[in-house]
């Protein structure tokens, strides 16, 4: 079986699996990294949102063969280390606003929020209501309003 090498949360990993298996299952079923959640498998719900090289992606839609050895996959578990702290400012904002209900969507929400703030910062601007409206992540518990508040607060500290 083909081997695939890439980086996950700062460590190099090699997996032995068919190249078309999507990254989500490589993370969850083979590597035991369960922060990214399954909610649809078709890049719609965004529960699996993680980062590759700092940008938001949905691993349920990425064949593992697409990854290069230098590609850095960051899941919610690895987010704090990207800022060298125990918690990323966005996670702290989530705690401050007591956002999570069941929590199932929240790893994906936080990863999407961080990428959104980085995107806006790269464009030299602050988060707008339109940006927030554009987030596609489902939260079936309906925490949307607190998510909006937390993103605005988290952005201040990023």
Partner 1 sequence: MTGPNGGGLDEAIGRRRFLGYVVAAPTLVAAAELGLTPAPDVRLPSPELTELLDLNDMMTAAALPTSGLITVEVNRDGTVSFALPRAEVGQGITTSTAMLIAEEMTVPLERVRVTLADARPELVFNQLTGGSNTTIATYTPIRVAAAIARLRLLAAAATELGSAVTDLTMRAGVITDRSGGGIDIGALAEKAASMRTQQVSVELMPRENFTVIGRPHNRIDALDAVTGRKKFAMDLDIPGAKPTMVCRPPTVNGKVGSVANLAEVRAMPGVTDVVTISTGVAVRAETFGQCIDAVRALRVSWKPGTAEGKSDESVLRELEAAELPLGPRPPTPTVEGRFTFYFRSNSALEPNCAIADVRADRAEIWSALKSPIVAKQAIAAKVGLPLGKVTVHVTEGGGSFGRKLFFDAALEAAEVSQRIGKPVKLMWHRADDSRQGRTHPMSTSRVRVAYLGDTVLSYKQRHTSVSTDLGHGLGEIITAMAARLPVGDIGFSQTFFHLSQAMSYDFGGGSRLLNETGKGFNTGSMRNVYSPDVTCARELIIDQLATRMGKDPYRFRHDFLRDDRSRAVLAKVAEVGGWGRPMPAGTAQGIAFHAEYKAVSAALVEIDCRSETVNRPVRDGVTGPRVTRAVFAVDVGLAVNPRGLEAQMMGCIMDGIALALTSSLHLRDGYFLEASWDNYFYTRQWNTPPELQIIVMPSTSEKPGGAGELGVAASMAAVACAYGRATGTMPTSFPINHGTLSFTPKPTIPPIPPSPTDGLKHAR
Site residues for partner 1, 28-67, by CB under 8 A, read 28-30, 32, 34-45, 47, 52-53, 55-63, 66
Bridge partners of 50? 57
144 binds ligand FES (CB under 6 A): no
Q: Which helix (H) or strand (E) holds 78?
A: none
Question: Which one of residues 8, 110, 117, 127 is an interface residue with partner 1 (CB under 8 A)?
Answer: 110
Question: Which one of residues 46, 51, 88, 97 is an interface residue with ligand FES (CB under 6 A)?
Answer: 46
| Distance separating alpha carbons of residues 91 and 108, to the nearest angstrom | 12
> What separation in angstroms does the CA of 127 have from each of 98, 115, 134, 152?
20, 11, 11, 7
Candidate ranges 43-51, 64-72, 114-122, 126-134; the one touching ligand FES (CB under 6 A):
43-51
18 binds partner 1 (CB under 8 A): yes
> In this structure, what are the phi and psi dihedrals at residue 36, rounded to the nearest 5 degrees?
-70, 130
| Distance separating alpha carbons of residues 106 and 141, to the nearest angstrom | 10
Interface residues toward ligand FES, by CB under 6 A: 38-41, 43-48, 58, 60, 100-106, 139-141, 143
């Amino acid at each position: 079986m083909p081997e695939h090498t890439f980086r996950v949360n700062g460590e190099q990993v090699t997996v032995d699996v068919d190249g078309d298996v999507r990254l989500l299952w490589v993370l969850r079923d083979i590597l035991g990294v369960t922060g990214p959640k399954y909610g649809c498998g078709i890049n719609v719900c965004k529960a699996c949102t993680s980062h590759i090289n700092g940008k938001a992606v949905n691993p349920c839609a990425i064949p593992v063969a697409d990854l290069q050895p230098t590609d850095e996959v960051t899941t919610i578990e690895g987010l704090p280390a990207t800022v060298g702290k125990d918690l990323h400012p966005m996670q702290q904002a989530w705690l401050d606003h007591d956002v999570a209900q069941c929590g199932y969507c929240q790893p994906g929400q936080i990863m999407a929020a961080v990428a959104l703030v980085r995107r806006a910062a790269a464009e030299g601007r602050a988060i707008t209501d339109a940006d927030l409206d554009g987030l596609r992540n489902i939260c079936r518990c309906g925490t949307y309003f607190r998510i909006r508040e937390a993103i605005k607060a988290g952005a201040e500290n990023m």
